[in-house]
């Protein structure tokens, strides 16, 4: 990745659902940015808020506090019609479950064209059909499939239809929300490879949401770890996997199964205990502890992290 232009900026974003007694903070003061051309991963356990962040960038979830910028311009609140149209086209999402995310009663042709219809992003009917054909070919499906219904396809093919639906809009940024976790293990690699080759060919930027750490390591350039709506660590992916600092990241990594059964047998899985932080008296902030490596820590913890980095000779 040579281009370091910032494409997406999430600034102190909180997303709160419900009101009064039922108020629930799903995302709590989260900040990060995504460079153009990179694959940025967000990992965390179920319910940690990964999807909510993706949906906030898609403008499906309303941001309660903070702001999200795309190409340096706010995407919320009162925005011009042109800007709204542009971001609706440029930011696309691929969903987790290809069985649930495709309209069963619509033909593939309509499913893929929906975004085109609402944005009127085609010259005439022949142009629309050509765009659908190209999108299907780009994801390795036959153009003839456009006259079929979703139930006629396998899980992997359906996810390819979901990808084609995003691609037909000629996007710049794709939020892939656990795009392979609902698929058979045997076809996961194919879909991942397809996403990787589309990224190269179409100069795409990805936000890749996952709970499976081995996939994140394989596909992302940088990774953020989220725990109960708070971002706790962010670093280059290799760095995060080889030199994790936050105890939650360490616990997550220690739970990844080892391919070697002998190692797996003797392995100690760390348990994360959030009460170790003592944040009541000394609250944390998300700070850069070394270049490009951010961590949620209070002053006391920061001193500890800096010392351990120094000992590794890496400050
Ligand atoms: N519309 C909503 N109204 C109320 N609570 C919600 C809403 N959407 C999400 N939540 C809650 O916010 C929290 C975060 O949900 P989210 O789907 O972002 O988690 P996730 O990390 O993506 O989990 P998973 O891996 O299971 O998809 C959960 O506790 C969820 O129940």
220 C-beta neighbours (distance < 10 Å), count? 23
Letter string b/e over residues 254-273, b meaning 16 or more CB atoms within 10 A of that residue's CB: eeeeeeeeeeeeeeeeeebe
Q: Which residue CA neighbors atom 14 of ligand 1 most closely?
A: 49
pLDDT of residue 264: 65
Which of 45, 47, 48, 208 for mutating ligand 1's site (highest number of atoms within 8 Å of CB)? 47
User: Does residue 47 line the site of ligand 1, with CB under 6 A?
Assistant: yes
User: Does residue 19 line the site of ligand 1, with CB under 6 A?
Assistant: no
Cα(249)–Cα(230) distance, integer angstroms? 12
pLDDT of residue 80: 96
Domains and CATH numbers, the chain: 6-228 (3.40.50.300), 243-315 (no CATH)
Residues in the chain: 315
More confident site: 96 or 233? 233
Residue 140 has pLDDT above 60, yes or no: yes
Nearest residue to 207 (alpha-carbon basis) of 238, 188, 179: 179
- Tell me the pLDDT band of 3, cut-offs 50, 70 and 90: low
pLDDT of residue 278: 86
pLDDT, mean of residues 216-230: 95
Residue 314 has pLDDT above 60, yes or no: no
Residue 40 has pLDDT above 60, yes or no: yes
User: Does residue 44 line the site of ligand 1, with CB under 6 A?
Assistant: yes
User: Does residue 54 line the site of ligand 1, with CB under 6 A?
Assistant: no
Please, which contacts does 256-261 make with residues 24 or more away whose CB atoms are closer than 8 Å?
256/213, 256/214
User: Does residue 228 line the site of ligand 1, with CB under 6 A?
Assistant: no
Query: What tens digit of pLDDT does each residue of 187-198 get?
Result: 999 999 999 999
Cα(139)–Cα(141) distance, integer angstroms? 6
Q: Which residue CA neighbors atom 31 of ligand 1 most closely?
A: 47
What ipTM goes with this model? 0.95
User: Does residue 211 line the site of ligand 1, with CB under 6 A?
Assistant: yes
Query: What tens digit of pLDDT does each residue of 163-202 get?
Result: 999 999 999 999 999 988 888 888 999 999 999 999 999 9
Distance 100 CA to ligand 1 centre (A): 17
Minimum-distance ligand 1 atom for the alpha carbon of 226: 21
pLDDT of residue 296: 97
Q: Which residue CA neighbors atom 4 of ligand 1 most closely?
A: 17
**Cα atoms found within 13 Å of the Cα of residue 208, Cβ hemisphere only:** 29
User: Does residue 24 line the site of ligand 1, with CB under 6 A?
Assistant: yes
Q: Which residue CA neighbors atom 29 of ligand 1 most closely?
A: 47
pLDDT of residue 96: 85
- Tell me the pLDDT band of 299, cut-offs 50, 70 and 90: very high
pLDDT of residue 237: 97
Residue 26 has pLDDT above 90, yes or no: yes
User: Does residue 15 line the site of ligand 1, with CB under 6 A?
Assistant: no
User: Does residue 175 line the site of ligand 1, with CB under 6 A?
Assistant: no
Sign of CA dihedral 229, 232, 236, 237: negative
Q: Which residue CA neighbors atom 26 of ligand 1 most closely?
A: 46
């Amino acid at each position: 990745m040579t281009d370091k232009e910032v494409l997406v900026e999430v600034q102190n974003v909180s997303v709160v659902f419900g009101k009064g007694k039922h108020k629930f903070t799903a995302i709590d003061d989260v900040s990060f940015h995504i460079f153009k051309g990179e694959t940025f991963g967000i990992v965390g356990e179920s319910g940690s808020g990964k999807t909510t962040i993706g949906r906030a960038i898609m403008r499906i979830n309303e941001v309660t506090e903070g702001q999200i910028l795309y190409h340096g311009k706010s995407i919320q609140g009162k925005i011009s019609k042109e800007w709204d149209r542009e971001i609706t086209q440029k930011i696309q999402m691929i969903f987790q479950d290809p069985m649930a995310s495709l309209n069963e009663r619509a033909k593939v042709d309509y499913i893929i064209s929906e975004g085109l219809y609402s944005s009127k992003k085609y010259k005439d009917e022949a142009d629309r059909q050509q765009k659908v054909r190209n999108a299907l070919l780009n994801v390795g499906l036959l153009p003839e499939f456009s006259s079929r219904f979703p139930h006629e396809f396998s899980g992997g093919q359906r996810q390819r239809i979901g990808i084609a639906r995003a691609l037909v809009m000629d996007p710049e940024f794709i939020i892939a929300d656990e795009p392979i976790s609902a698929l058979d293990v045997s076809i996961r690699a194919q879909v991942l490879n397809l996403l990787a080759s589309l990224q190269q060919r179409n100069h795409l930027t990805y936000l890749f949401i996952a709970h499976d750490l081995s996939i994140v390591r394989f596909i992302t350039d940088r990774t953020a770890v989220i725990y109960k709506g708070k971002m706790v660590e962010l670093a280059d992916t290799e760095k995060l996997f080889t030199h994790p600092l936050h105890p939650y990241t360490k616990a997550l990594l220690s739970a990844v199964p080892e391919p070697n059964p002998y190692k797996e047998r003797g392995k100690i899985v760390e348990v994360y205990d959030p009460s170790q932080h003592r944040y009541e008296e000394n609250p944390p902030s998300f700070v850069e502890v070394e270049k490009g490596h951010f961590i949620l820590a209070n002053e006391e913890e920061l001193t500890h992290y800096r010392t351990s980095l120094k000992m590794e000779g890496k400050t």
